[in-house]
Structure 1
Amino acid sequence: MTQPVPMTEIWRGPMAESVHLGHAVICASGGEIVEAWGDPATTILPRSSSKMIQALPLVTSGAARVHGLTSEQLALACASHNGAAIHTERVNRWLADLGLSDDNLRCGPQDPDDKVAHKALLCSDTSPCQVHNNCSGKHAGFLTLNRHLGGSAEYIDPDHPVQKAVLDAFETVTGETSPFYGIDGCSAPNHASSLHGMARAMAWFAGAREGVDANQTAAIQLWQAMVAHPELVAGEGRACTELMRACKEPVALKTGAEAFFIAILPTRKMGIALKITDGGTRGAECAIAALLVRLGVLDADHPATRKFMNAPILNRRGIEIGMIKPSAALV
C-alpha cells in the first residue's frame, strides 16, 4: 500500500468525527522492515526527530569529550525543550563554559512553552531570548562542535563544516543519499529521507554496540542520555517525557514538528518512525503510544499512556464527550 492509512481517530458519541492518516515503519537493527503501515518509501522531513543524528558528530569528533559534556548536555543536544528554567539555565551555563552568550546562537528567540517561564517573562515585561528556543540545546551542541572544528560563526549554513558533518552522519545512518533539505524553524538545515530510512536509522541506534566504532559508541551515549533525562528532552506534560518515563524498558522517544515521531528500543534492537500527513500532533502522539503498546513496552492503562492514547475528550463543563484513539490497524 502506498497511500497513508488511518492511524488516529477522534470519536464523539457513536462516530469517528475526524481521522488522522499517516505512515509508520518498525525496523529491526539490520534495517529490515518488521511491520509497516502506509508507504515506507514516502519521502519525509524528520524535523526535530533527527536531533540525535544531528548530535552524532558532536560526540564522534571528540568535541563532547574535549569539552567535558555531561549526559544532561547530550540530552539537551537531542531536545525540543519547553524553555523551562531547568532547560535555559543549563544551556546558559553551557554557553558560558564556551565563553559564548545568547548572541552566538542562530536559532532565534521563542516564547517558552513552559507556563512558569512564560508568566515570568510577561510579568517582567521581558522578551524571550534565543536560549528559550526549543532547539537551543541542539545549537549549543553545534557551537561546541564548531569550536572544535574552527568554523565560522554562521554554523547553520548548509556548506558550513558543522552542517556537512551532520549531513554525512544523516546519510550514513539512514543508508540513503538525502535528496534535499528544508530549513527548520531554528534555521538549521533539515535533511529528507524515506520513512524507511529514518526507521532504519533509529533501529541502528537501538542495535549499536559499545566499542565497535566511534559512531556506535556515540549512538549509545546519546540514547542513554535521552533515557536518563526525559525531562530535558521535552518537559513536563509532553509526550516524549511522559511516555519515556512510563515505558517498562529503556526507550528513547523524540517528536518532530508537523507530526513526526521516532522511537529507539535498545532492548529489542528496533526503531520506529511515523508521520501523520496532516501535521496533527495529537495524531502522532496517539499513534506512537499505540505502537509502543503493540510492542509490549508500554501498558495501555498507564496514566501517561491514557493522556495520549484512548484519551478522553472533555467539554467545557468537564464532561467526557469523546475520545482520541488509535485506528484498529495499529492495535
Structure 2
Amino acid sequence: MSGPVDLVEVWRGDILESVHQGHAVVCGPDGEVIEAWGDAEAVIFPRSSCKMIQALPLIESGAADAHGLGVAQLALSCASHQGAHIHTDRVQVWLDTLGLSDSDFRCGPQWPGDIPARNEIIRAHAAPYQIHNNCSGKHAGFLTLNRHLGGAADYELLDHPVQQAGKAAFEDVTGETSPGYGIDGCSAPNFATSVHGLARAMSFFATAHDRSDARSKAAVRLRDAMTAFPELVAGETRACTDLMRAMDGRVAIKTGAEAVFVAIIPEKRMGVALKITDGSTRASEAAIAAILVKLGVLDADHPATKARMVPEIRNWRGTLCGHIKPVAALL
C-alpha cells in the first residue's frame, strides 16, 4: 500500500510552483500490472471514463441490434459530449426513433460546452434541455436497453434492471467486487473500483478481439465506435477527440470527471487508467498524453500532444510565464 506520487509539475519561470499527485496503472493482456505509479489498489470513482463499460449491456442484451443502432450511436453511448449540434441532433433522432422525448431522460439539463450551441440558446432567451447534457448519449443507451427489458421509467435508480446489468458488467471486467457507489452528475450510479481494476477493464477491451463471447464482441464494437467517431465521444477542442485523432484511430481514450483518464490500446493489448488526486483536468490530460507517448502510440511532437502534455502558461497579455510538464518518471 502506498500513497499518491508526483505526476505533473507546474513551473512559473524556473521555479516549481505546483505539483499534481496521483495514481496510474498500465495493464497487460491478462490484467496484470506492467507498470504503476502511486498505489495501484487505490479505490476511485471512474466517473465518465467507464461509459464504454456501462454500454456493454446495451449490445449484449440484443437491444442495440433490435433497435438498429449504428456505429455513431454506439460512440454516443460512450460519450461525454459538448452538446454541439453534431451530438444533440443525433441524440434527438435516436429519441424520436424510440418514440420518446426529452422528458424521458433522467440526466438533467446542462448548458452545452460547445460555445455556438450555448450562444444559440442564449440568443433565443431559452434554457438548455436534458438532451444538451454531456451524458445524453449514454442515457439514450439506457433508454434503449430499458425499452428492450421492459423496465420502469426511473432507469437511473440503483435497483433498476438497467443499472444492475451495468453493475454486473462493471464487476466482471474490472475483476473486482465494487466496494460501493456514488451518484454521478447525470444521476446514474457510479461504481467504485481500484485504479488497477479500471486498467484491467481497459485491457479487457484492448484484447476483446481475441475472444468470441458476447461481452467481448460488444467490447470490440464499442471501442471501434469510439475510434471511428472521436468527434462524437467528446467534441472539437477536447483532449479525447484531439488525441484519438492524433493516434489515427489506433487507441480509444476517455476522460472522467475529477481527473480520471483511461486508454484502450489494442495493438499493444494494454489498458491504462489514471487518477489525479486533486481532480485537476490539466494534470490528467498531461499524464495520459505522457503515458501514451511512453508506450509508443502517441507522437510526442504532434501538436495535439504538445498542447496537453507540455502546455505553455501565458498570462492575459499573452506573455509566456511558465509551463506544465509530466514528471521524469512518466517520460
* Band the TM-score falls in, shorter-chain normalisation: over 0.9
Residue 149 of structure 1: how far off its partner (Å): 0.2
Q: Give, in whole Å, the separation in 2 of the partners of 1:152 and 1:57.
A: 17
Residue 249 of structure 1: how far off its partner (Å): 5.7
Q: Give, in whole Å, the separation in 2 of the partners of 1:187 and 1:248.
A: 34
Cα deviation 1:128-167 (Å, max 9, x = unaligned):
0000000000000000000000000000010000000000
Query: SS in structure 2 opposite 1:220?
Result: helix
Q: Give, in whole Å, the separation in 1 of the partners of 2:224 and 2:70.
A: 12
Residue 16 of structure 1: how far off its partner (Å): 1.5
Residue 209 of structure 1: how far off its partner (Å): 2.1
Aligned pairs, how many?
331
The answer as to whether partners of 1:210 and 1:217 remain within 8 angstroms in 2 is no
Cα RMSD (Å): 0.9
Query: SS in structure 1 opposite 2:323?
Result: strand
Q: Give, in whole Å, the separation in 1 of the partners of 2:281 and 2:83.
A: 19
Counterpart position of 1:137: 137
Counterpart position of 2:83: 83
Instruction: With the length of structure 1 as denominator, give the TM-score of the two structures.
Output: 0.99
The answer as to whether partners of 1:13 and 1:322 remain within 8 angstroms in 2 is yes
The answer as to whether partners of 1:249 and 1:297 remain within 8 angstroms in 2 is no
Q: Give, in whole Å, the separation in 2 of the partners of 1:288 and 1:211.
A: 27
Q: Give, in whole Å, the separation in 2 of the partners of 1:84 and 1:72.
A: 15
Amino acid at match of 2:228: A
Q: Give, in whole Å, the separation in 2 of the partners of 1:318 and 1:14.
A: 18
Amino acid at match of 1:116: P
Q: Which contiguous aligned blocks of 4+ residues in structure 1 show a shift greater than 6 angstroms? A: none
Query: SS in structure 1 opposite 2:209?
Result: coil
Alignment of 1:112-261 (within 5 A): 112-209=112-209, 212-247=212-247, 250-261=250-261
Query: SS in structure 1 opposite 2:279?
Result: coil
Residue 210 of structure 1: how far off its partner (Å): 6.2
Instruction: With the length of structure 2 as denominator, give the TM-score of the two structures.
Output: 0.99
Amino acid at match of 1:111: W
Q: Any gaps of 5 or more consecutive residues in structure 1?
A: none
The percent identity for this pair of structures is 63
Cα deviation 1:26-68 (Å, max 9, x = unaligned):
0012010010000000001000001000000000000000001
Amino acid at match of 1:164: Q
Alignment of 1:101-116 (within 5 A): 101-116=101-116
Residue 305 of structure 1: how far off its partner (Å): 0.6
Cα deviation 1:193-249 (Å, max 9, x = unaligned):
111000000001000126610000000000000000000000000000000000156
Amino acid at match of 1:160: H
Q: Give, in whole Å, the separation in 2 of the partners of 1:93 and 1:11.
A: 47
Counterpart position of 1:64: 64
Q: Give, in whole Å, the separation in 2 of the partners of 1:320 and 1:232.
A: 33
Shifted more, 201-210 versus 20-29: the winner is 201-210
Q: Any gaps of 5 or more consecutive residues in structure 2?
A: none
Amino acid at match of 1:288: I
Q: Give, in whole Å, the separation in 2 of the partners of 1:249 and 1:230.
A: 8
Query: SS in structure 2 opposite 1:304?
Result: helix
The answer as to whether partners of 2:228 and 2:249 remain within 8 angstroms in 1 is no
Counterpart position of 1:285: 285
Shifted more, 205-214 versus 74-83: the winner is 205-214
Residue 314 of structure 1: how far off its partner (Å): 1.1
